[in-house]
Amino acid sequence: MIINWVRQKPTVEKIVLLTGSDGFVGKAVLRCADAAVELLVSPLAREEAAPQILAAARAHPGAQISVLNLAWPSMRQFSASLSGQRGNIHQWRTYKTWLSSLLEAAAQAKVRFFQIGSGIEPYALGEAQIIGEPYLSYARHKDEIWRQVEKALPDASWRLRLHFLFGPDEAPHRLFPAAIHAFKTGGSLTIGGLERRRCWLHVDDAARGLLAAAASDAPESWDICGSMPVSFAELLTLIGEATDGAARIESPARDIADAACLVAAPTKLAPFMPDGVGGLDNLRERLRAYAQELAG
């Protein structure tokens, strides 16, 4: 059964069924869901996802139903450094089997399917193999999964690439909380390749982009990311401003995996992303608020 949101918005014509709702991005999608008044967003339970898709189609025969698949194994589980371990190979196969059941249900129910990718994928494929491990294998896994989705639902599936996100509920070891802590305490931060440029985005802005994509009447495969590449050096300057602090920046002991990828640019930026989102002014505002949240 679909959870109570169906009862709250019984006349909704567009429904988004969400996997991975307990993850970093999934939690942000749920935070932003109530503002999307034209949508009903309903989380799917991992083990019951396929039957819940079929139940939604039966309960709402006239609705536009989309699956937003945010469920994805963490890079720590499926990085290249772990890929030779039997347990991780088993987990990878388990994920693919679970996804197959999801795709079969989506095809049977004739619903739309949005698979989440990453902005680094294009730099791991074909001749453009300019990133190292663990990102290389992780990106290839994501592309392999996309091929599985595309084959199962050739006319009803799209890939939404998320780039470099920050915000509430991210793990403390990730770049932004670690950097904010270092700047606030005057500690050290190990980071290399300060000239690298990435399209940063607050996770709530990404969540709104994902919901806009899932609600689109003419969906395409889009990048959900900041509107301009911002360097790590510029980012650290903004974090210093946001915290009114300073940190000791130290170089890593070994080469970083994506050092050769100087710019990770979107393949096709989603047209509904607001102008300036992920730009310097937007990041400055978001980072100051985020630093205050972490301090609280």
pLDDT digits (tens, 9 = 90+) for 198-256: 999 999 999 999 999 999 999 999 999 999 999 999 999 999 999 999 999 999 998 89
Residue numbers of the domain that contains 263: 5-295
Residues of the chain with pLDDT under 50: 1-10, 75-87
pLDDT of residue 125: 82
pLDDT of residue 88: 63
CA dihedral in degrees (255, 256, 259, 260; nearest 10)? 70
pLDDT of residue 113: 98
Beta carbons within 8 Å of 8's beta carbon, 6+ residues apart: none
Number of domains in the chain: 1
The Cα 242–Cα 183 span in angstroms is: 9
Is the peptide bond between 134 and the residue preceding it cis, with omega within 30 degrees of 0? Answer: yes
Tokens of 18: 């969400």
CATH for 133: 3.40.50.720
User: pTM, whole model, 2 decimals?
Assistant: 0.90
Please choose, from the candidates 53, 48, 42, the residue with its C-alpha nearest in 3D space to the C-alpha of residue 12.
Answer: 42
SS (H, E, C) the chain: CCCCHHHHCCCCCEEEEEECCCCHHHHHHHHHHCCCCCEEEEECCHHHHHHHHHHHHHHCCCCEEEEEECCCCCHHHHCHHHCCCHHHHHHHHHHHHHHHHHHHHHHHHCCEEEEEEECCHHHHCCCCCCCCCCHHHHHHHHHHHHHHHHHHCCCCEEEEEECEEECCCCCCCCHHHHHHHHHHHCCEEECCCCCCEECEEEHHHHHHHHHHHHHCCCCCCEEECCCCCEEHHHHHHHHHHHHCCCCEEECCCCCCCCCCCCECCCCCECCCCCCCCCCHHHHHHHHHHHHHHHHC
Phi, psi of 100 (to 5 degrees): -60, -45
pLDDT of residue 129: 78
